[in-house]
Structure 1
């Protein structure tokens, strides 16, 4: 996501998630407790960011890719005089795993690799029997002609895609949060109103897309969140960085917020967005929340990327948290390596992308059977 651009003196926009790969490689890895290893569904992935399970048991995976041979330069970040060279190519992909376990790449999509890590396909959702994908973060210095399927909502049509909407075009024209144009089409869910709902992780807003016309409508903007005890030279607030979006049975949208640097433990939360766009906190005290899904048991489940310590992110500290009515939190899985998304089948089995902020080729999708029936771990908050 443009989520974890973690250089504290720069922090441009959505404070991008995939930069954790570089940080992880420079950290000493601790040995946290592992609650369960899970069953491997797919492996050899490059920072997978999304997983979806169809009614027939087919698993769809959004993979970030590794950039490519094309290049362009971006303007210098604030506080820097050097532009960044971005490498791009169609190395991101949507992977299909059939119920028998056979996997295949269905379509390739743009992947951009800059100073930190690659960003590409983000999330997959289904509406009206069609699959849709959010794809990538916009990068200053590029053009729509170069990257027509970046910062975009796409429809999967067999082995090709059709662009439904471009979130960068909307952001450039409107800039709803008034913090400068930037866009990363990230979270995606089919709404009960027949529209697709998108979290723009870089623009800090929630959008509604008409799948027939591609028209984008602003639902709400998320305000910056205060930073507790900011250090010298640190900003007093962090961008909220909306990630997952999910629906229960009350017609409201529930959105997880990361938020950005310095990734203070307990600073993430889930916000309930009513049909009129008004917002209330639903669950607080989460940490680096990257996704949110409704389980077949009627509860919300959040993926937490992990803890961010003084030396950077601590490997193996990711978790899955069940959020019951009233915002009551229960950790049901712990010891995960940078989980970025989760999905459920009708039985309550969970499919989780791990290694979402790790070295290329190390990403996986793992399955935990009957997760919705699993008791909370003793260390639950």
Structure 2
């Protein structure tokens, strides 16, 4: 299954966005519990624009941001993708760096393999360098997506598609490591159509875990780059949403695993897009403790595309859209390990990448299905708490004294 099957027009957005803090009367009447449960406000800054199919987003050990751009493809070596669209090859992919000390975004690596739809001026459905992750020693790794029958890779312009790579920024080089797409081609673990689209990776010790959104699987590549199966995400019967064409009331949807992160408890958490017909509320968050089978932590989400662990021991979820078939309506949700969920930010447009800094700043690759992508920073805005009752009493007493004097 290919996660990006439809290009959604972006439109204009306000650049300074503040979430409502919830209904309240006066500050002195807000109960402490209600103040704690209110959604935070965020100040939104645009750090970079003109990103070409931005995908994975991570934070370097020095605090700078590292972003993958899948690129706009090119005009040679065209293939038929799993979405039914034709993607063509070019060397327009990139790895971008945002330096927080200078506030400058630059492409540290360019001319990387890329495929995208060429019949649209937005060059949507880009596939290339898909995700990035650092290991505990500060070594950067990446994974290239594909989104089609992996046996087509030899004619797709680059053998890097479907593989994990080690990235040396100083030397400007990539070293191929594990062949994730080759594993799908050889074993096809879910037994469905041959399709490989490595989507996200997490490095844990000497092992690299990769979600294959096309193969509906979670795989592990060991230190010798040998790939093994961890889990197959089975398709589920979903309620068919309103569509412009007829389908049965219930339809089998492929799972389509997407983003991953190591949670505050040390377990691996995985998001689910949920495939065609993209029924709202059909996406889950899965948990894997590296010992027992994968379990479901929470459900009822729509089109989850990424996940990040925050400094507050919560998981932050990125929804590509609340309704895949409706207007773009990306959002960020906060998920507790107890299963509690809060929506904390709306008004995103087809977002594709998420990271959370130690100071609580949320970074988002927004408008990610095309070449007008942007990198946003959402900084929490401190909100005043309720006026202490003691302070109110002192104020009234002072007012009475002033009246007496006058």
Scaled by the length of structure 2, the TM-score of the pair is 0.77
C-alpha change, 1:322 and 1:85, in structure 2 (3 Å) is: closer
C-alpha change, 1:154 and 1:20, in structure 2 (3 Å) is: same
How many angstroms does 1:321 deviate by? 0.5
Is 2:324 the partner of 1:337?
Answer: no
How many angstroms does 1:277 deviate by? 4.7
C-alpha change, 1:30 and 1:38, in structure 2 (3 Å) is: closer
The one of 245, 257, 274 aligned to 2:272: 257
How many angstroms does 1:51 deviate by? 0.9
Task: Name 1:156's counterpart in structure 2.
Answer: 167
Deviations 1:68-117 (A, max 9, x none): 13223449x79xxxx96531011111111112122221223211124763
Deviates more, 1:299-308 or 1:267-276: 267-276
Partner Cα distance (1:62, 1:171) in 2 = 23
Deviates more, 1:130-139 or 1:45-54: 130-139
Secondary structure class of the residue paired with 1:20: coil
Q: Is the 1:134–1:188 contact (alpha carbons within 8 Å) kept by the matching residues of 2?
A: yes
Partner Cα distance (1:268, 1:365) in 2 = 25
Deviations 1:246-289 (A, max 9, x none): 12244432111110122222111101123235122211111110
Task: Name 2:73's counterpart in structure 1.
Answer: 67
Partner Cα distance (2:146, 2:251) in 1 = 25
C-alpha change, 1:251 and 1:218, in structure 2 (3 Å) is: farther
C-alpha change, 1:245 and 1:148, in structure 2 (3 Å) is: same
Structure 2, unpaired ranges of 5+: 20-41, 385-406
Partner Cα distance (1:125, 1:64) in 2 = 16
Task: Name 1:102's counterpart in structure 2.
Answer: 104
Mapping 1:196-345, distance limit 5 Å:
196-210=208-222, 212-229=223-240, 232-233=246-247, 236-308=251-323, 312-315=325-328, 317-345=329-357
Task: Name 1:3's counterpart in structure 2.
Answer: none
Deviations 1:306-345 (A, max 9, x none): 1226xx3312x11110101211101111111111121122
Task: Name 2:127's counterpart in structure 1.
Answer: 119
Partner Cα distance (2:188, 2:271) in 1 = 21
Secondary structure class of the residue paired with 1:187: strand
Partner Cα distance (2:271, 2:383) in 1 = 22
C-alpha change, 1:73 and 1:284, in structure 2 (3 Å) is: closer
C-alpha change, 1:227 and 1:344, in structure 2 (3 Å) is: same
Partner Cα distance (2:362, 2:288) in 1 = 25
Scaled by the length of structure 1, the TM-score of the pair is 0.82
Is 2:377 the partner of 1:367?
Answer: yes
Mapping 1:35-184, distance limit 5 Å:
35=19, 38-74=44-80, 85-99=86-100, 100-108=102-110, 109-114=112-117, 117-127=125-135, 128-140=137-149, 141-143=152-154, 146-158=157-169, 159-184=172-197
Partner Cα distance (2:203, 2:286) in 1 = 18
Secondary structure class of the residue paired with 1:143: helix
How many angstroms does 1:34 deviate by? 6.7
CA RMSD of aligned residues (A): 2.7
Structure 1, unpaired ranges of 5+: 1-13, 376-381
Q: How many residues align?
A: 344
Partner Cα distance (1:151, 1:274) in 2 = 25
Mapping 1:24-39, distance limit 5 Å:
24-25=8-9, 35=19, 38-39=44-45
